[in-house]
Chains A and B, each alone.
Chain A
Amino acid sequence: EPEVTQTPSHQVTQMGQEVILRCVPISNHLYFYWYRQILGQKVEFLVSFYNNEISEKSEIFDDQFSVERPDGSNFTLKIRSTKLEDSAMYFCASSEQVSSYGYTFGSGTRLTVV
């Protein structure tokens, strides 16, 4: 069964450093997403991406965050200057059609900011 692949599975970074979380969505999917889950809390929407541009973003997704699909297969989330409160599990997801069809999620990247 096709999978969404995320790397790395765990990243530790110092506060203030830039991190890039990487995702390879399912190849025929057109809609891409990032969500995060702070330990023990809700899964929160960050951003959606379609046709090479952001289609929607949450208030969490401020100027410190950016997304890119640099080469037609990877989909990346960059955090420019990490803060302690960015520590969370970050999930990438993709969908063949709009979200009402349901996503396929990756297994996540656990980001720890120290």
Chain B
Amino acid sequence: GNSVTQMEGPVTLSEEAFLTINCTYTATGYPSLFWYVQYPGEGLQLLLKATKADDKGSNKGFEATYRKETTSFHLEKGSVQVSDSAVYFCALSEETSYDKVIFGPGTSLSVIP
């Protein structure tokens, strides 16, 4: 079945460091891909998305590019801030099932001053 795999955390970075969180997926067809973020004590927020191959989603300095050839959607940010500390979830929406989003296990990021 369809699935999402993320790099295991927790990830700890110093402020202004470069961030990469790897995400790969298994899916039939052409799923839509997402990154959601969960700040401490809060719900899930859509961070960015890409709906077709080679699309780049971006928001708040974060970027991810839909790579069909490597089935990947890695999240990157050039310079992280303490306020970026959160759990990041990679997710996909199946092409053949419009109603369901499948989430990866989440990667916890801590940014220290």
Contact = CB atoms under 8 A, between A and B. Distances in A.
Nearest to B32: A100
B42 interface: yes
Contact of A98 (B44, B46, B98): B98
B49 A50 contact: no
Given A42-B105, A43-B89, A102 B99 contact: no
B100 A48 contact: yes
Given A105-B43, A105-B45, A106-B43, A100 B93 contact: yes
A10 to B, nearest CB: 11
Interface of B is mostly: strand
Identify the interface centre among B43, B46, B100: most chain A CB within 10 Å of its CB: B43
Interface residues of A, number: 26
Interface string B35-53: 0100000111110010100
Interface string A87-103: 00001010000111111
Q: How large is the interface on B (under 10, 10 to 19, 20 to 34, 35 or more residues)?
A: 20 to 34
Nearest to B51: A100
A102 B103 contact: no
A104 B46 contact: yes
A42 B106 contact: yes
Given A99-B93, A102-B34, A45 B101 contact: yes
A91 B6 CA distance: 21
A99 B43 contact: no
Contact of A103 (B46, B97, B105, B106): B46
A75 interface: no
Contact of A33 (B46, B99, B103): B99
A105 to B, nearest CB: 4
B42 A55 contact: no
A91 B44 contact: yes
A33 B44 CA distance: 13
A48 B93 contact: no
Given A42-B104, A56-B99, 5 more contacts: A48-B99, A56-B97, A100-B51, A103-B101, A108-B43
Interface string B82-111: 000000010101000111111111100000
